[in-house]
Structure 1
Amino acid sequence: MPLIDNAVYVTGHRIDDPKSLDETYELMDRLHGMAWIGLYRPDADEIHSIETEFGLHHLAVEDALTGHQRAKLERYGDTLFVVLRPARYLDAAEEVEFGEVHVFIGPGFVVTVRHAESPNLGAVRHRLEANPELLALGPEAVLYAIVDEVVDEYGPVVAGLQNDIDEIEKQLFGGDPDVSRRIYDLLGEVMEFQRAAHPLAGMLEALLRGAEKYQVDLEVQRGLRDVLDHVLAVVGQADAFRATLQNALTVHSTLTTQRQNDEMRRISEANLTLAEDTRKLSEASIQQGDEVKKISAWAAILFAPSLIAAIYGMNFDHMPELHWVWGYPAALAAMVVMAVVLYKVFKRNRWL
């Protein structure tokens, strides 16, 4: 149900719990009290009813209906419209979940419009009801308590992000290949956290500057200053987280490049070793081929005279040139000539 909690307060005490918005308006007028209307993702009819009753600006109402607004503070006459971006750290998922809450405050009324589970406005209401002196200070006191709750919830977020960054540093120097993805994801969360927290400092300073003009109680001003101090601390931590993660990306890039260079160097050394082995093998093959050529050449040179001698050594009676007077010298000469010719041919072809 969009209407979560609806009450009218007089001098800081809860007087009644109206069952409808019309009943709330009637009690406010009759008791001259302050109404605090808590809505969760309201529909257009409820928002427009409140818009008509309290004279809210239509642009602020449109923002409250659509949501997805940046953190901001806007004043429309005697009405303030505040957008806050609460956050909470989810331990199981190790990620930050961001919410959105809109606050309208004006003379005698506070309207809160929540678009997420965070912040716990019920707890804020209970704390204020337990402190009627603070609640009696009016709508500005309620706004202070809501902003204080949002900033307090930033504490676990800062602790969770710090723990994630510590883990990333271990992954970074441990050579985890998935660390770059985690750095990018965490950097996105930190930047979103900055967008939620950074505007709060300016918003609180603006409230304090206008405190005297709009007669904000001194105690509320002190509370706002205290919240501002906490906001500045959170903003400083968020900025440091972003710088650390950006440095981590640079270191990761450097380490990745170094590992790639080392790998290329090892590959180059391996290629050089392989090339040297191939060269030696080629030289051995060439040397072996030269030896084979030499052996083959000498075998051919010796084969030619052996062929002639074998032919003329056959014991046949009817052979040509067998009874020549110059047959023997001619055979020897043929052997020598053939050997010399083969020697010169092989020498010219560099086989010898």
Structure 2
Amino acid sequence: MARTRSYVGGVLTDKDFPLDNVSEHLGRPSAVVWVDLCAPDVEELRVVSDELGLHLLAVEDATTERQRPKFDRYTGHDFLTAYAVHLDVTTGELVTGEIAAFITPTALVTVRKDDHFPIDGLLDLWDENADLTAHGVGALVHGLLDFVVDSHFDAVQSLDDALEQLEDLLFDDRPHDRDVQRRSFELRKSLVLLRRVVLPMREVVNTLMRRDVGLVPEPLMPYYQDVYDHVLRATEWTESLRDLVTTIMETHLTIQGNRLNVITKKVTGWAAIIAVPTAITGFYGQNLPYPGFAEWSGFLASSGLIVLGSGALYLTFRHKDWL
């Protein structure tokens, strides 16, 4: 079901009206209309396209999934693609909600591929900044970008917290090799996906702010500058987390190598200790007479040599921290 809103002079005057009434609302002076479609069918898109004169290529991009975040210009309207994201802290999976937007001088049409994009949160943000809607479509686009970039920030913060927990597992006294490997892979995969949707936003917002585009009025320019600053910070943070994940994986491999060296050293030390009684019992097991052969004195002598030799090696290895 399509969701609609109509603003006149920056004041919300009507909502949830049929798509057929879009032209009627656009006919009012200083009116701005918002239309939202979630997984629309061909008929819904055709109605909106006929009402607003949307370009065929833009309509095709709006219905095709996994578009790159971008801002394209067409005759009579602009086209925007962006992603809201959310990190599932339990699984480490990054959930993305793709949204496409047709921007005309008097209308904003958003198209969601599925219900992963939290459109109610966007409406709450618009209502909280109702004083900005007097500046027209540019204010609605600002709210959309601000909402998307804030979700990027939240996801980066969640990834940062998850990486700190991963560091605690990495340096725990008890080995957690399997958990560290699985968690590192999950977070790295989510970070790659996040980077793919965050980095292009710098170009998108920068293009929107150009004066020749004419979308951002002068009173809204500081708000767009603030969004652009947030985009830069999210981009830098994402890049630093990417380096951090790589460092954690390399550190994990180093710790595993060090642990293997310690185990090998201890096993070698015990093998050297075991070699003493093996050598002595092997010597006394020969089928030849020797001092103390078939006598208690020989048994006691061999036992004493085993105890003294093994004990001396044990104390020596412990002193050198080889055991």
| TM, length-normalised to structure 2 | 0.81
Give CA deviations for 1:108-142 in whole Å, capped at 9, x if unaligned: 11101123445443343354356555213222221
1:99–1:117 contact (8 Å) kept in structure 2 = yes
Deviates more, 1:116-125 or 1:138-147: 116-125
Letter in 2 for 1:283: F
**1:310 equivalent in structure 2:** none
Q: 2:48 maps to which residue? A: 50
Counterpart of 1:107 in structure 2 is 105
Amino acid across the alignment from 1:21: L
SS in 2 for 1:247: helix
Percent identity over the alignment is 27
Compared CA separation, residues 49 and 97, structure 1 to 2 (3 A): same
Please, what is the CA RMSD of the aligned residues? 2.4
Work out the CA distance in 1 between the residues paired with 2:236 and 2:44: 39
Unaligned runs of 5+ in 1: 296-352
Task: Determine the C-alpha separation between the residues in 2 that align with 1:154 and 1:169.
Answer: 23
Query: Judging changes above 3 Å, is the alpha-carbon distance between structure 1 residues 223 and 32 closer, same or farther for their aligned structure 2 residues?
Result: closer
Structure 2 equivalent of residue 239 of structure 1: 239
Larger RCO (CA within 8 A; separation ≥ 6): 2
1:303-351 Cα shifts (integer Å, max 9, x gaps) = xxxxxxxxxxxxxxxxxxxxxxxxxxxxxxxxxxxxxxxxxxxxxxxxx
Pairing of 1:92-171 with structure 2 (within 5 A):
93=91, 95-129=93-127, 131=129, 133-171=131-169
- Which segment drifts farther, 48-57 or 218-227? 48-57
Partner of 1:180 in structure 2? Answer: 181
CA deviation profile, 1:50-70 (whole Å, cap 9, x unmatched): 223222222221221132222
8 Å Cα contact 1:201-1:232 kept in structure 2: yes
Q: Decide whether aligned partners of structure 1 residues 127 and 281 sit closer, same or farther in structure 2, where only a CA change above 3 A counts.
A: closer
Q: Is the 8 A contact 2:92 2:183 kept in 1?
A: no
Task: Spell out, residue by residue over 1:252-287, the C-alpha distance to the aligned partner (whole angstroms, 9 max, x if none).
Answer: 00111111222222333333333443232222222x
2:208 alignment counterpart: 207
1:182 partner amino acid: R
Specify the code of the residue in structure 2 equivalent to 1:252: H
Deviation at 1:7, TM superposition (A): 2.3
Q: Secondary structure at the match of 1:158?
A: helix
Q: Does 1:16 align with 2:17?
A: no
Larger mean Cα displacement after TM superposition, 234-243 or 122-131: 122-131
Contact map agreement 1:137 1:217 (CA 8 A) in 2: yes
- Structure 2 letter corresponding to 1:242: R
Counterpart in the other structure of 2:60: 62
Q: Distance in 1 between matches of 2:246 and 2:190?
A: 13
Gaps of 5+ in 2: 294-323
Aligned residues: 288
Letter in 1 for 2:142: Y
- The farther-off stretch of 37-46 and 49-58 is 49-58
Distance in 1 separating the partners of 2:128 and 2:169: 47
Structure showing greater Rg: 1
Which moves more between the two structures, 77-86 or 118-127? 118-127
The answer to whether the Cα contact below 8 Å between 2:191 and 2:242 also exists between their aligned partners in 1 is: yes
| Superposed CA offset, 1:136-162 (max 9, x none) | 322222111100011122333233212
Whether 1:77 aligns to 2:78 is: no
Indicate how the Cα distance of structure 1 residues 38 and 247 shifts in structure 2: closer, same or farther if over 3 A, else same: same
What SS does the corresponding residue of 1:100 show, helix, strand or coil?
A: strand
Matches within 5 A, 1:151-300: 151-174=149-172, 175-177=175-177, 178-209=179-210, 211-214=211-214, 216-286=216-286, 289-291=287-289
The two structures have a TM-score, normalised by structure 1, of 0.74
Structure 1 residues 130 and 11: alpha-carbon distance in aligned structure 2, compared to 1, 3 A threshold: farther
Partners of 2:248 and 2:89 lie apart in 1 by: 23
Amino acid aligned to 1:89: L
Residues 119, 149 of structure 1: 8 Å contact kept: no
CA distance in 1, matches of 2:114, 2:199: 20
